[in-house]
Amino acid sequence: MPRDEKRNGGLDPEHIRSLLQQHLVASTNGEVRIVDCRIANLRHRDGSRGTVQFDIRVEDLRSGAVHDHTVTGVTYGEQRTRRAWDAIRAERSVPLAANEALALLPFGFVPELDMLLQVFPHDHRIPGLAAVMQGLPSATKTAAIAQFGTGTWQLRDWRPQAMQYRAGMRAVVRLHVSAVDVATGQEADHVIYAKLYRDANQAERLWNTQVDLYERARAAGAKLALAKPIAYDRELQAIVTEEVPGHSLASALRQGHDVSETIRATAHALAVLHSLPGPLPTCRTGEDLTRLKEAAQILIDTYPGLGSTVSSIAHQVIVGLENVPCTLIHGDLKPAHVVIDGDRVSLIDFDLMGAADPVVDVAHLVAFLGDDRERSQITDVDVDGATRLFLDEYFSSVPATSRGRLPIHHAMTSLHRAVGLSRKRGSSGIDQVQAILDEAQAFLSGHLDDGVAPSFKRRITRQSS
């Protein structure tokens, strides 16, 4: 197989281009043509399931106009893709029609690849995405108007911008809304965000969680700020929030800003989150330790010769974490989820919020800062110094025993990294797995500074149920 096809999971872009032309282009008289196709992203969950993102260019041969579009190909396996395609056709009372501006059908199906095609913003699992990109449904429109305060406001314009999109899972849309008070002629602009979910129960649960968390954080004082939730749109399965002013810690690091005060403020805001009073969801630590035991058994089965080392690491992690206190945690703390506005620090994106050892958040941020791909984008900031400053400031605000658990979480991360490598390489990866296990042992023995990140960043927690 040629190198390019191997990198693209066996998919030849030119062959895909011809298939997209056949299954997505509404015109059959040759007036519209897909002239280019690039495989932008590929995610395989196993041999029969996965998603692939195609960036395509469509040319109107009559006018010469060219448009760029994103198409997601989804494969569910075991006839589920065909059933999804049949359901899409059955749900529509009229035949699938193309958007005139796109000259493309919103959905298609490629039998040869067992692949469902979805032209952004169409997504059969997030139907609200196309609705909000093409106009404001009533509940979101009402929420947008309410942000302008008292008066007789009418919307003049709204400009949607997709900020995040994960096919079949969730999407975030930024809405720049303009309005006029018809009584006074006053004009104003406002920005809100709509986060759309695949699962209605998840969306409503997260809405209730975020409302509660916002009120608790506001009562705690100025060190911790959160985006204000302003509406839940059941039609869209979307949470609508105010915009959080400022810039992300990620952008500050990449632009080479002096981040010392920002790092200090972030540490103290996180400590406030971890100390918020009120009821907690079910603690996740037991689930994490169960997953750790499962991971250890996979390694032992794959590399019997490493069994004693794996067992020793797993035992030390379990003993170190089985009786730790649980608090509220963010669950996905990284620089992109920290927003800075002067001396104000906001945390965003609480989809994975739950209850666990608070050091989980600390370990996740440290691992993120230590990742080679992240560090390659940071040129003028001492990341190691910033990491140690964050740790010193955070652990100065919490019980002294907390810091000793950070290397234990790093060791857990290393063990899961070894499992991921074993699944990719099998027995041929034993030398690399041994190196990762050596790293885990070094964390547990204190031979590595706690500010050193593990060799792989991973999300330790799962969504709360």
Q: Are residues 196 and 283 in the same domain?
A: no
Q: Tell me the average pLDDT across 191-204.
A: 94
How far is it, in rounded angstroms, from Cα 20 to Cα 68? 14
Strands 153-166, 344-347: parallel, antiparallel or unpaired by DSSP? unpaired
Quote the pLDDT of residue 90.
Answer: 87
For residue 198, tell me if it sits in a domain.
Answer: yes
Q: What is the pLDDT of residue 464?
A: 37
Residue numbers of the domain that contains 324: 247-445
* The pLDDT value given to residue 377: 83
Query: Residue 140: its pLDDT value, please?
Result: 82
For residue 165, pLDDT over 50 is answered with yes
Paired tokens of 180:
């006029």
Section 357-370 average pLDDT: 92
Confidence (pLDDT) at 183? 92
Above 50 in pLDDT, residue 383? yes
Kindly report which listed range (163-177, 241-255, 374-388, 441-455) carries the lowest average pLDDT score.
441-455
Lowest pLDDT segment from 53-62, 101-110, 144-153, 355-364? 101-110
**pLDDT, mean of residues 11-35:** 85
Please tell me whether residues 136 and 108 are part of one structural domain.
no
Q: Region 392-408: what's the mean pLDDT? A: 94
The pTM score is 0.85
Q: Which long-range contacts (CB under 8 A, 24 or more apart) does 124-127 make?
A: 124/84, 124/87, 124/88, 125/167, 125/168, 125/169, 125/198, 126/168, 126/169, 126/170, 126/171, 126/196, 126/197, 126/198, 126/237
- Average pLDDT rounded to a whole number, residues 96-124: 82
Q: Please give the pLDDT value at position 129.
A: 94
pLDDT of residue 45: 61
Q: What is the mean pLDDT of the chain?
A: 88
Residue 189 CB coordination number (10 Å): 12
- Pick the more confident residue, 104 or 320: 320
User: Looking at 65, 92, 120, which one is the last position of a domain?
Assistant: 120
Run of H or E including 448: none
Give, for 379, the enclosing helix (H) or strand (E).
none
Q: What is the dihedral of CA 80, 81, 85, 90, to 10 degrees?
A: 0
Report the relative pairing of strands 225-226 and 344-347 from DSSP bridges. Answer: parallel
pLDDT of residue 451: 74
Q: Which of 127-131, 196-200, 398-402, 444-448 has the least mean pLDDT?
A: 444-448
Q: Kindly state whether residue 40 falls inside one of the protein's structural domains.
A: yes
Nearest partner of 40 among 27, 51, 29, judged by Cα: 51
Tell whether 179 is covered by a domain.
yes
Q: For residue 383, is it within any domain?
A: yes
- For residue 212, what are the CA distances in angstroms to 209, 229, 353, 440, 452? 5, 10, 12, 38, 35
- Say how far apart CA 92 and CA 235 lie, in whole Å: 17
Same domain, 295 and 428: yes
Least confident among 165-174, 339-348, 370-379: 370-379
Q: Give yes or no for a contact between 211 and 217, defined as CB atoms under 8 angstroms apart.
A: no
Greater confidence (375 vs 18) lies with 18
Same domain, yes or no: 228 and 251: no
DSSP for 269-338, written as a single string? HHHHHHT--S----BSHHHHHHHHHHHHHHHHHH-GGGHHHHHHHHHHHHHHHTT---EEE-SS--GGGE
For residue 1, the model assigns a pLDDT of 40
Q: 């900031």: which residue's tokens?
A: 381
Judge if 208 and 333 occupy the same domain.
no
Domain boundary among 120, 143, 164: 120
On whether both 177 and 282 belong to a single domain, the answer is no
Does a structural domain hold residue 461?
Answer: no
Q: Are 205 and 216 in contact (CB under 8 A)?
A: no
**Quick count: other Cβ atoms within 10 Å of Cβ 91?**
9
Residue 256: how many other CB atoms lie within 10 Å:
11
230 and 292 share one domain: no
**pLDDT-based confidence at 27, cuts 50/70/90?**
low
User: Looking at residue 261, which CATH number applies to its domain?
Assistant: 3.90.1200.10
How many domains, in total, are found in the chain? 3
Residue 450 falls inside a structural domain? no
Specify whether the CB–CB gap between 58 and 69 falls below 8 A. yes
Identify the domain boundary among 85, 120, 155.
120
Q: Which two tokens stand for residue 369?
A: 């800062």
| Mean pLDDT value of segment 152-168 | 91
Q: Is residue 134 part of a domain?
A: yes
Task: With respect to residue 253, please indicate whether it lies within any of the assigned structural domains.
Answer: yes
- What CATH number has the domain bearing residue 191? 3.30.200
User: Cα(142)–Cα(233) distance, rounded to whole angstroms?
Assistant: 10
Q: Are residues 77 and 45 in the same domain?
A: yes
In terms of domains, do 251 and 237 share one? no
Mean pLDDT of 55-82: 91
Complete edge-to-edge strand list for the sheet that includes strand 187-197: 153-166, 170-181, 187-197, 238-242, 229-233
Same domain, 95 and 208: no
Q: Once rounded to an integer, what is the mean pLDDT over residues 333-347?
A: 91
Predicted pLDDT at 101: 53
Residue range 266-275, pLDDT digits in tens: 999 999 999 9
Buried b (16+ CB within 10 A) or exposed e, 428-456: ebbebbeebbebbbbbbeeebebbbbbbb
Residues 18 and 56 in one domain: yes
Say how many C-beta atoms besides its own lie within 10 A of residue 80's C-beta.
Answer: 15
Looking at residue 369, its pLDDT comes to 87
The answer on 294 and 432 residing in a single domain is: yes
Asked if residue 83 lies in contact with residue 35, where contact means CB atoms within 8 angstroms, the answer is no
Share of the chain above pLDDT 90, in %: 64
State residue 465's pLDDT score.
34
